[in-house]
Amino acid sequence: MAGLKRTTRGARLPRVCWSLAASSVERLLAAARAIRPPADRFVEARLDYLEQPELGPQAIEGLRRARIPAIATLRSAVAGGNYGGPLEDQLRILTECGAAGAAIIDLEIESAERAARPARARLRRHARLLISFHDYHATPEALPAVLRRLKRFKADYYKIATLSGSHADNTALLKLNAVGRGTVLALGMGEIAMPTRVLAVARGAPFTYGAVSADQALAPGQITGEDLRSLYRIGRLSERTAVYGVIGNPIAHSLSPAVHNAAFSALRRDAVYLAFQVEALDDFLGALPAYRLAGFSVTMPHKQGMAQAVDWADAEARDIAAVNTVVVRDGRLHGYNTDLAGITAPLEKRLKLRGRRVLVAGGGGAARAAAFAVARRGARVFVVSRRLEQAAELAEQVGGEAVEREALSSARFDAIIHATPLGMHPDTRSCFFSPGDLNAPLLFETVYTPMETALVRMARSRGLNVILGLEMFIEQAARQLELWTNARAPRRIMERAAARALGGK
């Protein structure tokens, strides 16, 4: 037994614990063996998902034989799990799991408070003990009190997982990891809490939890283990790691983390890039010190709000009253707009803009950036929108002309820039234009999810040259990276990362 204690109690564990749930021991073991590479195998065996939870020790024995360290979890229904048996049976099964070779035993606080001291002591006889607290409804205001409640019991680790409703909640959770460095794991649940699942280990948590796949997450907002390992390079994160990100709403399907993390890796930068779901801008800005952000991208719907929040803005951002890039220097926010370069750089590879007739379709932020961008290059700007008054307002601001949609079939342009969200995933069948409206040799599609929209297919069928939205996205992202790092952006690597994320070539 002494040898077993050395392998379970003293072993250094990977930073990602893969949460596994299966109805049978065989399926649980198969899922654990499927994790690659083998050196990264460290799993949470959710024994409360087994049809026969009493077979939990058998599952742990199989994992031990496969040399896969495991957390044995038999979460009771009162703590949000599936186990409905008596406390005595729960403690017995978990004790047997420790003897069978579990690295860690997870006992929720509700059971710990009901268990007798000798029973809790037996859980630590062969394995490390983790006392856990879960709140699937909210993040309690008094989180330090929650930690004190856990620490009434002698254990090796203390876990707090709560539903986060704000970036203020995230801040409170991250602080706990620093307070209990190496022994406390505090993270949030829900989409807004995603950064805590990555940054927890950089703030002192011993590990974090990952899902086997996106459709098998065992907690709201849980990131896949593969993304934690490969995309966010969680094994390399530390207090010194520079943190960047993108803010927006919605943000879950942003390409930016894939693109910028690939760039940081290629540049050998100790940096990580995260997605921040932001509903209220003030809430996010208040959390900046806790996140320790060195810079961030801004997308819908916060570009105009950020223009009001920064301490300084460049000429492009001031002209269009929108910021899509922020550099944090000595606590001050410096705002930029790289969207304009994302429009003009691809266009000027194909034609000189001065004096050319350019139609911009749309009336929102993307259309505004496109119209200002080409106007600054001397193009004659025409604006069409679903509402003529909206088109007229934007056209007046850039010295252009509004065009009625009915007049498009008889008009002629040198280039058309589509800058509405029509055609974007998931509404991929929608299209702003009809075939007869495309009276230009060149179409610029700013939508990049999917890479080939219905409009792109229509334009190609009519013989137009096409600029894909991905080219614009990479251009503006590359310029963001250069503002943050003062290094030349690895555009090819960023393009490949974006294409992989989109499932393209």
Question: Are 132 and 278 contained in the same domain?
Answer: no
| pLDDT tens per residue, range 384-399 | 999 999 999 999 999 9
Structure tokens at 151: 């620490």
Question: Are 311 and 438 contained in the same domain?
Answer: no
Is 505 designated active site? Answer: no
Is the model's pLDDT at 3 over the cut of 80?
A: no
Measured at the CA of 418, the angle between CA 413 and CA 419, to 5 degrees, comes to 135
Choose one of 239, 269, 285: the last residue of a domain.
239
CA-CA distances (angstroms) from residue 454 to 83, 441, 495? 49, 18, 22
Crossing angle of helices 56-65 and 87-100, rounded to 10°? 20
pLDDT for 504: 55
pLDDT for 6: 37
Number of domains comprising the chain: 3
| pLDDT tens per residue, range 315-324 | 999 989 999 9
Choose one of 218, 239, 260: the last residue of a domain.
239
Question: Are 292 and 424 contained in the same domain?
Answer: no
Q: How far is CA 91 from the centre of its chain?
A: 37
Quote the CA–CA distance of 497 and 499 in Å, as a whole number.
6
- Residue 413 CB-density burial (10 A; 0-12 exposed, 13-18 middle, 19+ buried): buried
Question: Are 36 and 60 contained in the same domain?
Answer: yes
Question: Are 96 and 207 contained in the same domain?
Answer: yes
pLDDT for 4: 37
Question: Are 405 and 494 contained in the same domain?
Answer: no
Query: Which residue range(s) make up the domain with 299?
Result: 244-337+475-502
- Active-site position among 154, 303, 349, 352: 303
| Least trusted range by pLDDT, from 193-197, 229-233, 238-242, 365-369 | 365-369
Is the model's pLDDT at 400 over the cut of 70?
A: yes
Mean pLDDT score, 430-436: 95
Is the model's pLDDT at 361 over the cut of 80?
A: yes
Of 155, 246, 232, 154, the closest CA to residue 198 belongs to: 232
Q: How far is CA 362 from the centre of its chain?
A: 28
Question: Are 161 and 130 contained in the same domain?
Answer: yes
β-pair type (271-277, 465-467): unpaired
| pLDDT tens per residue, range 233-244 | 999 999 999 999
Question: Are 143 and 261 contained in the same domain?
Answer: no
Give residue 217's pLDDT band: very low, low, confident or very high (50, 70, 90). Answer: confident
Length of the chain: 505
Choose one of 192, 209, 239: the last residue of a domain.
239
CATH (domain of 406): 3.40.50.720
CATH (domain of 105): 3.20.20.70
What are the residues facing 247 on neighbouring strands? 276, 298
Question: Are 414 and 463 contained in the same domain?
Answer: yes
Question: Are 24 and 144 contained in the same domain?
Answer: yes
CATH (domain of 306): 3.40.50.10860
| pLDDT tens per residue, range 90-125 | 999 999 999 999 999 999 999 999 999 999 999 999
Question: Are 57 and 110 contained in the same domain?
Answer: yes
What are the residues facing 70 on neighbouring strands? 43
Question: Are 137 and 222 contained in the same domain?
Answer: yes
